[in-house]
Amino acid sequence: MNIWIVTTGNSDVQLKDKTTVKTNWNTLYREGRKGLDKDHGFQPVQKEDDVTFTVPARVMGVIYGNQLDNNKLNKDIYQDLCFPLLDAFFQKLQGKDQPDRIIVILTNQESAYQKTEKKSPYWKDTCTLKPILKRYFAEKFPKIKEVEYLELEPQSKSEGLDNWDQALKLVQQELSTLEFKPLDKIYVSHQAGTPAISSAIQFVSLSQFGKRVKFLVSNEYEPENTRFITSSKYLRGIQLQEAKVLLKRFDYSGVESLLKPYWLDSATPQEQKLRELLKLAIQWNFANFDEFSKGLEEVAEERLKTWWWTGYEAAYLAVVRLEQGNTVEVLFHSFRAVEGLICKWAEYKYKNHIQYKSDGSPEIKVSILRDLPDYLNRLYPNMQDKLNKKQGKLGLFSESLYQLLQAAKPECQSQNHVMSIVWGKARDNRNPLFHRLLGLQEQEVFEAWDTQNKDAWKKKVLSCLNFVAEQDFTSLQKASLMYQLHQDLNQALTDYELQAFSDLNL
């Protein structure tokens, strides 16, 4: 059995032309407006670059549909109406594709919205079109004895049909009342109605019918392009939309996992670019900045020559983790960005006084005292012994690193200097916050940096980085190579989508 499920929308039933409006509308409106819960003086509006006129669907149903219910809708009046989208579908549903069963989705938001507002979604409801649609389907598909009508009826404004979750719930509830057989072929036309209804119908159809479903799509201005789209292609379209959502969350691995099954052995230029950018983004997301940089050498050659660029990337990674709600990593990467940059500064500034352990960690040699004699006195006694007497070297991290910067840049020794937060409150709070099992609130991250909100926190981290690197970036986004690569990824995904579905109109 061929089953056609079709949604309905505000412009499914239209008035043919200006003559129709002048001849019949005003007369019928005067007679029928008593059936409106609130008379707003509705008048037909001509569609742009078209000859047809529209009125809100509920009004159309009351004025014309009631005439049919009263057996007054004669053939001449019925000829006032046109059905651009439904007609396009009808032309395609011929021969072996002709439906044996039709299920029409109507809307009725009477309980959810006020009738007093002329622009209320209430007036766009299609439930009153039922008499007109009955006439239409009876003429177009005379073999079908009874068309089935389902009404989506939200009970409150919060459950309105613009609400994606609620629309899905209502569609699932209504379709669950119907019986379908395993061998049924399902055709679905979802374009009419709100975007939430459209998405809900797509989702439920794919989950309930799988490969048995085909989507019948059209454009009222280009009816010749009406066509069936297989479920696999439609699923790909939906997954591309999901990929965009994942990309907004900076979930680069998620985007790759979602799209990888569709990648070709012989990739198009659009696909190849997307794949390469995702590969770089994934490396960045794991803080593998060296691997990340290998793919950027041509586009960011000058930046990659600097010693300080990875510090800004680590800080922007903290910003991304904040957007993702991962507060523990926010604290980790923000602190790591600044302390790591101080270490990079030391290795760059005093490379002749640096040596490395077998694990790659740096040590400062006693020879540093020739350039910074005050450094020794700034160290704790046990550190002084290691550097000047016992070992002649000292592991370059935490206190030894902070004191090196203060010895080289005395201005940051002041308690009022922006850098004082690094070896003061931020360091004091870091370990206790990391090692507890109670979770970490966003506000606690800000307070660990002696700030009160996200903007102030970002500004303070940026100020610390700019001081160490002697740069003047105005934002962490502008300082990060990944920020621009993310913009490139957005465009690459859009280009990939356009290329992949150049012959579709999803």
205 and 334 belong to one structural domain: no
Which pLDDT does position 207 carry in this prediction? 87
* pLDDT of residue 280 exceeding 70: yes
β-strand partners of 188: 5, 215
Distance CA 246, CA 486 (A): 12
* pLDDT of residue 75 exceeding 90: no
Which pLDDT does position 38 carry in this prediction? 83
Which pLDDT does position 30 carry in this prediction? 86
Dihedral Cα 493, 499, 502, 506, nearest 10 deg: -20
CB 402 within 8 A of CB 423: yes
Mean pLDDT along residues 167-196: 93
Q: In what order do the strands lie in the sheet with 393-395?
A: 354-356, 362-365, 393-395
Distance CA 404, CA 241 (A): 51
341 and 452 belong to one structural domain: yes
Element (H, E) at 14: strand 14-15
- Give the pairing type, strands 393-395 and 227-230: unpaired
Per-residue pLDDT reduced to its tens digit, 218-241: 987 788 889 888 887 777 877 888
79 and 199 belong to one structural domain: yes
* pLDDT of residue 506 exceeding 50: no
334 and 205 belong to one structural domain: no
What tokens were used for 481? 């190579």
Dihedral Cα 241, 246, 250, 251, nearest 10 deg: -130
Tokens 């000859």 correspond to 51
β-strand partners of 14: 82
Per-residue pLDDT reduced to its tens digit, 344-353: 999 999 999 9
Last residue of a domain, one of 225, 257, 288: 225
In a domain, 239, yes or no: no
In a domain, 450, yes or no: yes
Element (H, E) at 329: helix 327-349
Which pLDDT does position 65 carry in this prediction? 82
Number of domains composing the chain? 2
Last residue of a domain, one of 225, 259, 274: 225
Q: Out of 2-6, 297-301, 361-365, 466-470, which region has the weakest mean confidence (pLDDT)?
A: 297-301
Last residue of a domain, one of 210, 225, 240: 225
In a domain, 369, yes or no: yes
Which pLDDT does position 501 carry in this prediction? 67
For residue 191, the SS3 value is coil
Residue 189: how many CB atoms within 10 A of its CB? 24
Which pLDDT does position 342 carry in this prediction? 98
| Best CA proximity match to 344, nearest among 401, 294, 395 | 401
Alpha helices in 249-287 (DSSP H): 252-259, 269-285
DSSP annotation of 472 reads -
* pLDDT of residue 277 exceeding 80: yes
Across all residues in the chain, what is the average pLDDT? 90
21 and 139 belong to one structural domain: yes
* pLDDT of residue 298 exceeding 80: no
In a domain, 265, yes or no: no
214 and 116 belong to one structural domain: yes
Most confident of 149-163, 189-203, 430-444, 468-482: 468-482
In DSSP notation, 402-416 reads: HHHHHHH-GGGGSTT
In a domain, 377, yes or no: yes
pLDDT above 70 as % of the chain: 95
211 and 317 belong to one structural domain: no
CA angle 144, 147, 152 (to 5 degrees): 160
| Best CA proximity match to 331, nearest among 240, 444, 421 | 444
In a domain, 204, yes or no: yes
Which pLDDT does position 68 carry in this prediction? 66
| Best CA proximity match to 464, nearest among 351, 318, 364, 289 | 318
Which pLDDT does position 77 carry in this prediction? 80
* pLDDT of residue 124 exceeding 80: yes
Which pLDDT does position 33 carry in this prediction? 85
* pLDDT of residue 338 exceeding 70: yes
216 and 328 belong to one structural domain: no
Per-residue pLDDT reduced to its tens digit, 370-415: 999 999 999 999 999 999 877 799 999 999 999 999 999 999 999 9
45 and 164 belong to one structural domain: yes
Per-residue pLDDT reduced to its tens digit, 281-297: 999 999 999 899 988 86
445 and 322 belong to one structural domain: yes
Q: Counting Cβ atoms within 10 Å, is residue 10 exposed (0-12), middle (13-18) or buried (19+)?
A: buried
User: CB neighbours of 406 closer than 8 A, spacing ≥ 6?
Assistant: 378, 412, 413
β-strand partners of 7: 105
CB 493 within 8 A of CB 256: no
Band of pLDDT at residue 119, cut at 50, 70 and 90: confident
Which pLDDT does position 239 carry in this prediction? 83
Which pLDDT does position 503 carry in this prediction? 43
* pLDDT of residue 73 exceeding 60: no
38 and 154 belong to one structural domain: yes
User: CB neighbours of 167 closer than 8 A, spacing ≥ 6?
Assistant: 152, 161, 194, 196, 197, 199, 200
313 and 183 belong to one structural domain: no
In a domain, 292, yes or no: no
- How long a stretch of residues is the chain? 506
Terminal Cα distance for the chain, rounded: 26
What tokens were used for 318? 């903290």
Band of pLDDT at residue 163, cut at 50, 70 and 90: confident
* pLDDT of residue 71 exceeding 60: no
Distance CA 480, CA 309 (A): 8
Q: Distances in Å between the alpha carbon of 387 and those of 223, 354, 359, 375, 396?
A: 83, 12, 20, 10, 11
Which pLDDT does position 17 carry in this prediction? 87
* pLDDT of residue 505 exceeding 70: no
In a domain, 288, yes or no: no
Range of the domain at 216: 2-225
Tokens 């690193």 correspond to 401
* pLDDT of residue 478 exceeding 90: yes
